[in-house]
Amino acid sequence: MPRSFLVKKPSSTRAPNYGQLETRRQEINGACHSCGGLVFPILIPNDSVPSTPWDSSSLIARVSLPLPSDGDTPSTDPRNREISLVDTLTGQAPGTPLKDKRNNLNLPHRRPSDPGSPAEGDRGARDKVQGGQDRAAEPLERFECFDCRKSYHTFSGLAKHRQLHCLQARKYFNCKFCDKEYGSLGALKMHIRTHTLPCVCKICGKAFSRPWLLQGHIRTHTGEKPYSCSHCSRAFADRSNLRAHLQTHSDVKKYHCRACSKTFSRMSLLSRHEEVGCCPGS
């Protein structure tokens, strides 16, 4: 059905609250050169708390980052300690200090062997990521592809390899909250709002995923009903409800039972009609 009935209204000045998204985005630091997919490793020690709304696990490679050759200052931020990122867009070598460009922060490398090092606490998580092997026993750092287990000596080699995966397979963006998949990051972001619910009603505190949902909700407080029926004097706060109402005026209902030819104004009514056994053969 063509959707040419869009009605342009004065645009809202309300800026959506992307606060939650923004803070989470800080933990992702790159994209595939060829497809824009996320290709960087994120070591997450706490499985119970999703570090990013979108699940890049199908895209990222599992890698072991080389440790710095000289003494980097250990981070005092426990969040930073759990993240190891490499920016191939800048071509930065894994051994060089990492930088979170968004926050202008250097992301620390870790020395698991440092006594009292904050990194010591997440040793188990790192070992889990690496299949339980003791890093201290590894003679050489490896960069391993998460998908095919192919290993590379350099991260750039792995990055190039990952691009092949991105080209070969259609890129998907997974929601970390519910495992839904989307073909574009925009669609995923839209979906993520159903989890973060950034639009909050100032009157009752109820949260919604989109501004216009909140707008409709606010009408329940104000009593505003801008959609009125042309057949009767009834008015509605929601256009969809008016449309459903208009069906009640129609002699020919939109939904009809295939068994008894009875018609209904709503799909839900037809479904309920069929569920209670009108159509035992169907």
Partner DNA sequence: CTGGGGATGGGGCCC
Partner DNA sequence: CGGGCCCCATCCCCA
DSSP, res 272:
H
Q: Which stretch binds DNA (CB under 7 A): 40-48, 95-103, 136-144, 264-272?
A: 264-272
CB 83 within 8 A of CB 107: yes
Q: Is 34 in the site for DNA (CB under 7 A)?
A: no
Query: Pick from 67, 194, 256, 279: which binds DNA (CB under 7 A)?
Result: 194
Q: Is 210 in the site for DNA (CB under 7 A)?
A: yes
Q: Whose Cβ is closer to DNA: residue 125's or residue 246's?
A: 246
Q: Is 2 in the site for DNA (CB under 7 A)?
A: yes
Q: Is 49 in the site for DNA (CB under 7 A)?
A: no
What are the beta bridge partners of residue 199? Answer: 208
Q: Is 12 in the site for DNA (CB under 7 A)?
A: yes
> In this structure, how many other beta carbons lie within 10 angstroms of the beta carbon of residue 250?
11
Amino acid at 72: D
Instruction: Provide the minimum distance between the beta carbon of 235 and DNA in the complex, in angstroms, as a whole number.
Output: 8
> In this structure, how many other beta carbons lie within 10 angstroms of the beta carbon of residue 77?
13
Closest Cα to residue 216, out of 190, 246, 242, 189?
242
Q: Is 99 in the site for DNA (CB under 7 A)?
A: no
Query: Pick from 50, 112, 118, 211: which binds DNA (CB under 7 A)?
Result: 211
| 3-state SS assignment for residue 224 | coil
How many angstroms separate the CA atoms of 183 and 275, rounded?
35
Q: Is 123 in the site for DNA (CB under 7 A)?
A: no
The position carrying tokens 């590894």 is 138
Residues 6+ apart with CB under 8 A from 274: 257, 259, 282
The position carrying tokens 């259609």 is 170
Q: Is 23 in the site for DNA (CB under 7 A)?
A: no
Write out the E strands in 25-123.
Answer: 54-55, 62-63, 98-100, 105-107
Judged by CB under 7 A, the chain residues 231 through 260 that form the site for DNA are 234, 236-241, 243-245, 247-248
How many residues sit in the footprint of DNA (CB under 7 A)? 62
Q: Whose Cβ is closer to DNA: residue 145's or residue 166's?
A: 166
Q: Which stretch binds DNA (CB under 7 A): 60-68, 136-144, 165-173, 268-276?
A: 268-276
Instruction: Provide the minimum distance between the beta carbon of 240 and DNA in the complex, in angstroms, as a whole number.
Output: 4
Closest Cα to residue 78, out of 101, 51, 104, 113?
51
Q: Whose Cβ is closer to DNA: residue 11's or residue 76's?
A: 11
DSSP, res 118:
G
Residues 6+ apart with CB under 8 A from 133: 127
Query: Pick from 7, 49, 137, 252: which binds DNA (CB under 7 A)?
Result: 7
Q: Is 18 in the site for DNA (CB under 7 A)?
A: yes
Q: Which stretch binds DNA (CB under 7 A): 75-83, 123-131, 163-171, 182-190?
A: 182-190
| Torsion, CA 44, CA 47, CA 53, CA 54, rounded to 10 | 70
Interface ranges with DNA (CB under 7 A): 1-12, 14-16, 18, 36, 180, 184-187, 189-191, 194, 206, 208-213, 215-217, 219-220, 234, 236-241, 243-245, 247-248, 262, 264-269, 271-273, 276, 278
